[in-house]
Amino acid sequence: MGFLNPWVLAGLAAVSVPVAIHLLNKFRIQRTRWAAMRFVQDSLQRNRRRLQIEDLLLLILRCLVVAALVTAFARPVLQTLVPGLLGGDGPAATAVVLDNSGSMGQSNGVTTRFEEGKKAIRDSLENQATGSQLAFFLVSSRADSLIAQPAADLPRFRRSLELAGMSDRSTDLAKGIRAGFEALKPLGGQRREVVVYSDSQMPAWRGLDDIRKLQLANPGIVLKPVILGAAGEDNLAVVGLHAEGGVPASGQPCRFRVEVANYGTKAAEGVRVTVAADDLAPSDETLIPRIEPGATFSVNLFVRFDAPGFHAVTATIPPDRLAIDNQRSTAIQAVDRMGVLIVEGNGEGPVSERDGYFLANALAPVSADRAQKYFLNITTVPFGAMNRASFASYDTVFLCNPGPLSDQAVAALKTYVTEGGNLVIFPGSRTDPAVWKKNAPLSALLPATVGPRKTAVKPPVALQTEGFDHPVSSIWNDRGEGGLSAAKYTEYFPLEVKKGEAKAAVILRLANGDTAAAEWAAGQGRVVLFNAPATPQGNNLVLHPGFVALTQRLMGYLNRGSSARLVLGPGDPFELPTAMELLGRDFSVVRPGEDATRRPAGRVELADQQAVVSYRDTDAVGAYRIYMGQDDFPSAVFAVQMDPTESDLRQAPRPEIEALAVEPTAKEEFSSAAAPRLQVKKEYWTAFLWLAALLALAEAALAHRMSASR
């Protein structure tokens, strides 16, 4: 209990006024002689006690009226201690850090946690001491400083607070806290606080160790986490959307893998998942019967693109409290036809005995009459004619059982790969590892060093049966999709995968741990190296049905290697090489959720001798469409996807987070600050006014009754 106008309480001295009047009346005596004394005496004796009580009662009532009035004008209030934004009586320097990550969009049905945070900040501003300085940061996966240096400019702070908006980025509170500490470091001699308003989801505190180090390094700065919302909110989220399978081509069904995670505490049942291309009606849907708490469920859905070019695909689940992760978009470039060149070491003899026969059939598993229209246009040349081939007209080049490569051939291949081509090598009987090892340019191009050929391996070594960790082979982690264990090797080239800055990835392993296939990026293209020929000599992989899937997935992977840059994280810049004839043309963009409104977005510029479309305003998740001039069809489509961890709304353990708010031991450093401020919870002056009125009424009634009775 306290008073807003405590100085008015001095008016309580006015309580003595009724007493003084009472006494004054008693002592202001008039005198007279009187004859009828015995009647007065008799009346006095009869009424003395009643008179005394009534007088006392009236006096008390009058004193209470005065006291109630004075108390009302002193504005009595109920106050509570607020360890809020500005905790001291003296001026403080405060860095306010507000989490604006995607998870702050979670709604309680009325308002989002981001709005809750803004309201909490506004409320705490009420307790601001004059002269306090404020800095303001928004934090997500990065720290944005709206007021970088603490300033005693409250209007500016309020305006910045109102203008602050959400982002779709993930959270790393350590970045915002660090920014706050850095802003407060130069200030001394006053109370310094970093106040963090966040939903405190667990991934947001991944930098907790760094935060503790910051606290240790800056003992004069107090960190105060303000946790918004309650723990244990349920949330279903689309955490993954990838193109699967082969090359996405127009007119061909393209498979997309949709991953739905349940971050709640109870199982989700009957979750409907749909996919749609280019904001059209859903092209496919499925119903997930049940997702256990904490589990992720994957489904495959198909989309067919009518035309080649860039497309956006969106997967959607039913709405819940956090809207942002109820759908997820990706972008893909569908091809019309792709050129594939197969170079055969042995290109003579019966077709079925040539080195590229099984590979060509796996790449185009259709009848001869349909092969002409198949999206993979396969060209086969003998090894000797390789130098005459123009690699640039092919998307992928396969070398099957290559012999020694000339320097010219290696240089041509290197250029081809560096400029975005894909090279796949199946070594064979013509391959001499020792010669390749001496050929430094070739060795540098390969993801693994080829060892001397192992022959007559007994028993034959099978391919791995589980633990596939490469996108090409990961499908076989699901036993329902079959397996490759039936593929066995009696002869193979041991591959020593290169490690270092450009680490190579293993696509397949043998059961004995040797590498069966490895790949890496070289320039803008990729190089894949197998450990055996694409013929049934020394292995039976090519005879295995899984070989078709393997080659198709490999083609899809290599193609998506160029499409991977179509999927970004929030805030990542989008850059896409384009045709030189577009150089200097203006382009516009249609952002996610903005219907067909085209915003001028920039101009095609030259970068590294290439015409490049560049766009940086990618904070919002969803599909972006870039149009050149007044074109009807987008020249490029890309998608921004939220970090899946942002959908995990489970809060970090409160005690651990609240323990961060430790008062500094070096109190002398901010001696101007005092105890936490009192915040007004409720005012009572109206109640006291009513009380005074009631007492006055009672006094008047009592006085009237007494005068009547006397």
Partner 1 sequence: MAEPSLLDPEAISRGEALGLLARRVVEGYRVGEHRSPFRGFAIEFAQHREYTAGDDIRHLDWKVLGRSDRYYIKQYEQDTNYVAHVVLDGSKSMDYGSGKVTKLHFAKALAACLSYLVLMQRDAVALALFDTETREYIPRTDNLGRIHHIMNRLAAFAATEGTSIGRTVEQLSHQARSRGIVILISDVFDDEEGFSKALQLLRFSGHEVILFHVLDPFELTFPFTGTWKLLGLEELTEIQTSPADIRKSYLANFDAFRERVRATCEKFNTHYVLADTGKSLAEVLSGYLAFRRMMGKK
Position 34 contacts partner 1 (CB under 8 A): yes
What residues numbered 649-708 form the site for partner 1, per CB under 8 A? Answer: 707
* Least distance to partner 1, CB of residue 709, Å: 7
Whose Cβ is closer to partner 1: residue 7's or residue 27's?
Answer: 27
- β-bridge partners, 287: 272
* Least distance to partner 1, CB of residue 6, Å: 38
Helix or strand (DSSP H, E) at 450: strand 448-450
Whose Cβ is closer to partner 1: residue 25's or residue 665's?
Answer: 25
Position 38 contacts partner 1 (CB under 8 A): yes
**What is the Cα–Cα distance from 532 to 536, expressed in whole angstroms?**
9
Burial (Cβ within 10 Å: 0-12, 13-18, ≥19) of residue 539: buried
Position 29 contacts partner 1 (CB under 8 A): yes
* Least distance to partner 1, CB of residue 21, Å: 12
User: Interface with partner 1 by CB under 8 A: which range of 33-41, 381-389, 488-496, 616-624?
Assistant: 33-41
Position 40 contacts partner 1 (CB under 8 A): yes
Count, residues near partner 1 per rule CB under 8 A: 27
SS3 334: strand
Q: Is the peptide bond before 459 cis (omega within 30 degrees of 0)?
A: yes
What residues numbered 301-320 form the site for partner 1, per CB under 8 A? Answer: none
Position 230 contacts partner 1 (CB under 8 A): no
Task: Please report the DSSP string for 65-108 in residue order.
Answer: HHHHHHHHHT-EEEEEEE--SS-SSS-EEEEEEEE-SGGGG-B-
**What is the Cα–Cα distance from 424 to 528, expressed in whole angstroms?**
5
Position 367 contacts partner 1 (CB under 8 A): no
Q: Using the rule CB under 8 A, which residue among 19, 51, 582, 703 binds partner 1? A: 51
Whose Cβ is closer to partner 1: residue 667's or residue 710's?
Answer: 710
How open is the CA angle 94-99-100, to the nearest 5 degrees?
A: 130
Q: Using the rule CB under 8 A, which residue among 1, 7, 31, 348 binds partner 1? A: 31
Do the Cβ atoms of 576 and 613 come closer than 8 Å? yes
Task: Please report the DSSP string for 204-270 in residue order.
Answer: GGTTHHHHHHHHHH-TTEEEEEEE-S-S----EEEEEEEEESS--BTTSEEEEEEEEEE-SSS-EEE
Position 265 contacts partner 1 (CB under 8 A): no
Q: Using the rule CB under 8 A, which residue among 2, 16, 39, 512 binds partner 1? A: 39
Q: Using the rule CB under 8 A, which residue among 1, 7, 26, 675 binds partner 1? A: 26
Position 266 contacts partner 1 (CB under 8 A): no
Whose Cβ is closer to partner 1: residue 35's or residue 456's?
Answer: 35
Q: Using the rule CB under 8 A, which residue among 41, 80, 111, 686 binds partner 1? A: 41
Contacts of 690 (CB under 8 A, 6+ apart): none
* Least distance to partner 1, CB of residue 22, Å: 11
SS3 388: helix
* Least distance to partner 1, CB of residue 76, Å: 36
**What is the Cα–Cα distance from 506 to 4, expressed in whole angstroms?**
73
Position 49 contacts partner 1 (CB under 8 A): no
Q: Using the rule CB under 8 A, which residue among 1, 7, 28, 479 binds partner 1? A: 28
Whose Cβ is closer to partner 1: residue 665's or residue 709's?
Answer: 709
How far from chain centre, in Å, is Cα 266? 23
* Least distance to partner 1, CB of residue 25, Å: 6
Q: Which of 139, 183, 128, 194 has its CA nearest to residue 164? A: 139
What residues numbered 52-81 form the site for partner 1, per CB under 8 A? Answer: 55
Q: Which of 336, 260, 338, 341 has its CA nearest to residue 301? A: 260
Whose Cβ is closer to partner 1: residue 7's or residue 34's?
Answer: 34
Would you mind telling me the total number of residues written for the chain in this entry? 710
Please report, as ranges, the residues that interact with partner 1 according to CB under 8 A: 25-44, 46-47, 51, 55, 707, 709-710
